[in-house]
Amino acid sequence: MKKSLLALACGAFAYGAAEFVMMGILPQAAHTMNVSIPTAGNFISAYAIGVCIGATMLVFGRKTGPKKLVLLFMAIALVGDVFSALAINAPLLIIGRFIAGLPHGAFFGTAALIAKTLAEPGKQAKAVSLTITGQTVANMLGVPAGTLLAEHLSWRLAFLILAGVAALTIVLVAAWVPYIQPVKDAGIAGQFRFLTKPGPWMILGATFTGNVGIFCWWSYVSPWLQQVGGYRSGTVPLLMMLAGSAMVIGGLIGGHITDRWRSAGTAALGQLVAAAGLMLVFLLPGSRLNTAVLTFIIAFALFFVSTPQQLLLAEAGKGGGELIGGAAVQIAFNFGNAVGSAVGGAALNASNMNYHFPALGGLPFAVIAVALLVWYSAKFETQTDALERMEVIEV
């Protein structure tokens, strides 16, 4: 199981870095492609659009084993990253980014199913969190490394390296991930049957609004650290590594708690921490110490909620919709990112570029996410199966 999770975590690293690295190399890519920074923002949104559209691939892969699906998704990511690295103009780079994003949501939905299937009873959340750790490590190491490559060598190298990681993942998955039966074939309509219930929509709503809230602030974290915290631009990659370490820790702790308590309750706790962090970002005057601490806290909360939300949708889709459920979380996540960036930008414009105000714009969304998760937990998680989870200890 550990080798299988390592292989999946390697793929998660490739996708996590591909999703966020463009934020660090945007100025260099814009200069090479001879476009403005606002226009270069399409390089980011193209990936997010690919994520949302690509999840529909799972509809047609319902009869295919999860291992084969992961191999296909990594091959598509490899092609997209190579295409991005070799793009000679902005439209081709947008196409490359779109291709690279297509399998993102489908990969995480399928990887979560594999991890959950291979895990021991009562340790499913831990297995899923270990898989997602690859995405958080990408934020800790991959994104700052890509930024340094862009500054000192070439931004294209970042995508070539990611293509290499995708190729490595293909080898590891082929060698280490065992065959797993395809999910129950419930037909095309049957895969979406779980969405006729209110519970999954509450989790998707919480995922969306929670990410809108956080990404109102996170989208502008670099200038916030410089303008409010007083850091030099050269120090920002180090602070991004701090945030990445917080994501790793948050993801692992969130998975650990989920195995021992309510999934939605755990996610609500994480969203509450994020909401408190956003409120402090708005209220505190700003210093190097408190901006660094708040960066750590909110980044911790961002991935603390990831495993329980992923697990909730995979569970909700039992009976043929497991893959769609897992992918739907990634769609809500990325849609929330895009909307959060727009809301945060509007808050900046309305406040005459006051970098405290994006957090204020995101705070109501974070509070809504907490309310949805608490409501879900109170309605659907009154039975926590605590007795069933007890383990016999022989002395």
Domains in the chain, ordered, with CATH? Answer: 1-185 (1.20.1250.20), 186-383 (1.20.1250.20)
CB 313 within 8 A of CB 258: no
Residue range 91-106, pLDDT digits in tens? 999 999 999 988 887 8
Report which listed range, 252-266, 283-297, 311-325, 378-392, is most confident.
Answer: 283-297
Q: Which helix (H) or strand (E) holds 394?
A: none
Residue range 24-46, pLDDT digits in tens? 677 788 888 888 766 776 777 78
| Distance separating alpha carbons of residues 334 and 104, to the nearest angstrom | 10
The residue that leads in pLDDT, 242 or 170, is 170
Residue-level pLDDT at 309? 81
Residue type, 27: P
In the 3-class helix/strand/coil scheme, how is 336-369 assigned residue by residue?
HHHHHHHHHHHHHHHCCCCCCHHHHHHHHHHHHH
Paired tokens of 5: 């999770």
CB 59 within 8 A of CB 188: yes
Q: Which of 116-130, 261-275, 355-369 has the lowest mean pLDDT?
A: 116-130
CB 195 within 8 A of CB 37: no
Residue-level pLDDT at 350? 85
Q: Could you say which DSSP state residue 65 is in? A: -
Token pair 């631009």: residue:
233
Residue-level pLDDT at 78? 94
- To the nearest whole number, what is the mean pLDDT of the chain? 80
Residue-level pLDDT at 232? 80
3-class SS shares of the chain: helix, strand, coil, % to 5: 80, 0, 20
The residue that leads in pLDDT, 168 or 155, is 168
CB 116 within 8 A of CB 314: yes
On the question of pLDDT at 387 being above 60, the answer is: no
| Distance separating alpha carbons of residues 20 and 265, to the nearest angstrom | 28
Paired tokens of 43: 């390089």
| Distance separating alpha carbons of residues 337 and 335, to the nearest angstrom | 5
Rounded to an integer, the average pLDDT of 353-359 is: 86
Residue-level pLDDT at 243? 82
Residue-level pLDDT at 81? 92
Q: Smallest Cα–Cα separation from 316: which of 184, 206, 208, 197?
A: 197
Q: Smallest Cα–Cα separation from 176: which of 131, 133, 139?
A: 131
Residue-level pLDDT at 371? 92
Alpha carbon separation from 78 to 74, 215, 327, 334 (Å, rounded): 6, 27, 20, 20
Other C-beta atoms closer than 10 Å to the C-beta of 153 total 10
Tell me how many degrees the CA angle 186-330-189 measures, rounded to the nearest 5.
20
Sequence length of the chain is 395
pLDDT band for 168, please (50, 70, 90 cuts): very high
Residue-level pLDDT at 101? 87
Token pair 């209110």: residue:
198
Rounded to an integer, the average pLDDT of 328-349 is: 80
Paired tokens of 54: 């690509």
| Distance separating alpha carbons of residues 226 and 203, to the nearest angstrom | 35
Residue range 110-119, pLDDT digits in tens? 887 788 777 7
Paired tokens of 48: 């997010």
On the question of pLDDT at 335 being above 60, the answer is: yes
